[in-house]
Structure 1
Amino acid sequence: MSDSQPNAPQSLYAAQEPIFPRRVSGPFRNLKWVLMAITLGIYYVTPWIRWDRGESLPDQAVLLDLANRRFFFFWIEIWPHEFYFVAGLLVMAGLGLFLFTSALGRVWCGYACPQTVWTDLFILVERWIEGDRNARLRLHRQKKWDVRKLRLRLTKWITWALIAVATGGAWVFYFTDAPTLLVDLFTLNAHPIAYTTIGVLTGTTFFFGGFAREQICIYACPWPRIQAAMMDEDTLTVGYRGWRGEPRKNSAEVKAGAEMGDCVDCMACVNVCPMGIDIRDGQQMECITCALCIDACDDVMAKLGKPRGLIDYMALTDEQREREGKTPKPVWQHVLRPRTILYTVLWSAVGIGLVFALFIRSDLDITVAPVRNPIYVTLSDGTIRNTYEVRIRNMQHDEREFVLSVKGDPAIVLSLEGLEGNVVSVPADEMRLQRLYLVAPPGSAPARDARSEVRIWLEDRESGARSYKDTVFNGRGE
């Protein structure tokens, strides 16, 4: 169907057009360099930070120990039954994303998103090897593959591949002792899952950062479509002061004699944009608010002797006020408003709750599960016995002995299967399953009643720390 037909179906996918961002310098570009160095440094260095955890555990500060279902973060140790800490951190991350988006638009996408960080790194490598924008354009448009083009492309791809391998390799170090795994990887003694993970992450990093780039942000990432719900007319985001810049040079209005605006249509803002968009066309889903167009435009304005800010962080309310000749609101009034304050309060509340839970948590953990089949057993002398499965988790780094006792009706007596007395030994950083019996003599109140409330106490013989679980003792119900 030809383009002249009015009812021609519109394609939902636009073919990728190669984008070669030009190098730019300025405060926002410098901020991106700093954040890229910090985030990459944290990612690559963190698994190698050592932390003394005793003889039975790896001396790694940050470790996702999936084999033993534990998470170590410096002095904090999270066990499976404490997953609410991880859930709380995820909630805080979500609220933080909502907060920053509400205040400053897609600053996460523009400065700290892994896709953005690695894409910036890949573009930096590309610029070092092939040259700045014009040189890369000429190389792209060169149809003939001569020795020079092949050398430049292979050098670039090999460098990208090395970065991608380092990215995948760094990720697997978070899941086991990093020095040990490094040796195993080079001696081919590592688990196949480690090699598979490195391979997958190497391939995705190489493709996403080198070739897909803006396509991931536009088509694969859902956040551009969600962000609008987090923003309002007071959100600060990158915008163009069209009332100051228009009409542009060579426009029909200027040719007709109108006074030209500040925009000289130099295309500097477009040439530095990693998404290849023109911010002068208004707010667009593709814009990641990286602010590189601000640096480029401010540089041109400085050369022309005109004030900066033709492209700047601004809100829709600022546009309306400036068009009316009023002074825009100060930045703090955009940042401190009911929506952002609400997000901050919720974020802080979750954080304070997690810190409070971290300080009051016990190093002892006990679970008591009654055996329901049968709910009780009548012994030959008429004694009623209930059976329980008790799980004792020793969260200390040395073996401990724990004393079990029962609190309730004095007639109820506690005993442990396979042990004499009521003392259980649990190895360091392990959980022990112990069968426990509660018995009530014939004729006693617990034996006659259908249900009696009891409390199972657990005490660390060394530290004196105690913990308990409430359960029930089932009798005949006479």
Structure 2
Amino acid sequence: MQQKNKIKAKEYLYPKKPSGKLYTRRKWLSYALLVLLFTCPFVKFNGDQLVLLNFLERKFVFFGLIFTPQDFYLFALAMLVFAIFILCFTVVLGRLWCGWACPQTIFMEMVFRRIEYWIEGDANKQKKLDAQGWDAEKFLKKGVKHVMFLIISFLIANTFLAYIISSEVLFTIITEPIRQHISGFISICLFTIIFYSVFAHFREVVCTVICPYGRLQGVLLDKQSLVVAYDFLRGEPKGRLRKESFGTHKGDCIDCRLCVQVCPTGIDIRNGTQAECINCTACIDACDTVMLKINKPSRLIGFYNQEFLQDHKAYQIGFKSYGYAAVLFLVIIVFSSLIYKREDIETTVLRASGTLFQERKNQETSNLYNAQLINKTNRDMKFQLKSKDLNDKIEFIQDAGILPKEGSAQVTFFLIRKNKTIKEYKSEAVFEVLVNGKVVSEASTSFFAQPE
């Protein structure tokens, strides 16, 4: 008899509401990060929003520092710094980022899950509600919950777009008629549906299946990495706490399974380090509560490395961590030096193609140049272009005068030199760009002339 393959449906998890010291700390950290997340695109600093990640126009702003398309190498280097930091962070502290700072976890555990606890109750009440028929109570609770989920997903979608297209453009899309911004309206609706689907249905699947960082965890961790782990040397053999068992040798674990019940990804931490563990520390709080009740030391589950779990060896940072830290330090030094040397105006001066030097009256020679100036700031600038050599003269054919914010300007001019100062056929010409009498940029090129 031929059997048909069946696809197993996603098992819906009902994690028990966590509590404890670590959960309280994580909760307040999450609230601080949420405030930062929702304010950065709407707070102005030096005329720009605090953080802007406009990939469409290749403009990026970080706390007043503007990266234009010409600064893309700086943005790429900044992303490299962030990637190396995550590697270094993971090697030392495991997947702590996922449990304490990842937006997915913060929204899921500190916003959507808490709304679910508030409306439907703890894990057992949620199971009971899902199992019962569609009566008035279930319809009301489920309806209110999902309406709130949609509203919050809508707010997240708008905030997300504010980071991408800027808060000003978003405000324009919201206030003006929909027919004038069809693509923007569709984007808001699409992202609302995506966020709602993630937090109302997919949930932990994003962390356990979709997110690539969790899969990299197994490659990055070593024996010195600190992870949320079960101290099996102390906990085994586990067994239920019974009166008749007093006097017999057993481990501290009483197999209450609270660590499993509070886990948001549904794993048993006692089975060892697993890719699904996001280091949220909910199991540590749950286990500490039980240890306190049975007069046992806390941290049967805690932050441990592999060497401690095997022979209770004292924690030491591994050489790999020092290596990553050294690389991170060097890249930060390079990035900082490039940022320090970065000019507000980028100037490029090139000789006009297809032209030779021109002999002039009064024993002078000129070369024709084209200059392009790019303004990397968010303010208009009135600039002046001059030669660094005070003996040179500049005769403008096309002079912009004003350099628009985040824009560019083209300047065409002759550089004129006296023949008696020309000592060789090819020499250097250095130009300065001044704003309010201060040199903000320099550019150099070649000057050709027949020496006397």
TM over 0.5: yes
What's 1:454 paired with? 428
Q: 1:145 aligns to what?
A: 134
1:463 corresponds, among 426, 434, 437, to 437
Map residues 183-202 of structure 1 onto 2, 5 A cutoff: 184-188=173-177, 191-202=181-192
Match of residue 221, structure 1, among 206, 211, 214: 211
What pairs up with 1:26-425 in 2 under 5 angstroms? Answer: 26-53=20-47, 60-64=49-53, 70-120=59-109, 121-142=111-132, 144-175=133-164, 178=167, 181-182=170-171, 184-188=173-177, 191-249=181-239, 259-322=249-312, 328-329=313-314, 333-334=315-316, 336-372=317-353, 374=354, 376=356, 388-395=369-376, 397-405=379-387, 415-418=395-398, 424-425=401-402
Aligned pair in 2 of structure 1 residues 340, 386: CA closer, same or farther (>3 Å)? same
CA RMSD of aligned residues (A): 3.8
Report the alpha carbon displacement of residue 102 of structure 1 after superposing the two structures with TM.
Answer: 0.6
Alpha-carbon offset, residue 206 of structure 1 = 0.8
Q: Flag the 1:199–1:464 CA change in 2: closer, same or farther, 3 A.
A: same
CA distances 1:367-410 after superposition (whole Å, capped 9, x unpaired): 124454x36488999x99865431113456343131233769x8
Aligned partners of 1:104 and 1:237 also within 8 Å: yes
For residues 472 and 2 of structure 1, do their structure 2 counterparts lie closer, same or farther at Cα, with a shift above 3 Å needed? farther
1:434 is aligned to 411
Q: In the aligned structure 1, how far is the partner of 2:90 from the partner of 2:57?
A: 37
1:191 is displaced (CA, Å) by: 3.5
| Preserved CA contact (<8 Å) 2:120 2:126 | yes
CA shift, 1:428, in A, is: 4.7
Inter-CA distance 345–247: structure 2 relative to 1 (3 Å threshold): same
Structure 1 unmatched ranges of 5 or more: 323-327
Residue 229 of structure 1: how far off its partner (Å): 2.3
Q: Which runs of 5+ in 2 are unaligned?
A: none
Residue 413 to residue 402, structure 1, CA distance change in 2 (3 Å): closer
> In the superposition, relative to structure 1, how do residues 67 and 147 fare at CA in structure 2: closer, same or farther (>3 Å)?
same
Deviations 1:315-340 (A, max 9, x none): 11112223xxxxx31xxx43x33222
Q: CA deviation at 1:126?
A: 0.9
State the percentage of identical aligned residues.
28
User: 1-side partners of 2:311 and 2:166: how far apart?
Assistant: 58
Cα 1:176–1:277 change in 2 (3 A) is closer
| 1:188-210 deviation line (CA, Å, top 9, x unaligned) | 36744432332222112111122
Q: Which deviates more, 432-441 or 96-105?
A: 432-441
C-alpha displacement of 1:22: 0.2
User: Which piece of structure 1 moves more, 79-88 or 164-173?
Assistant: 79-88
Q: TM-score, normalised by structure 1?
A: 0.80
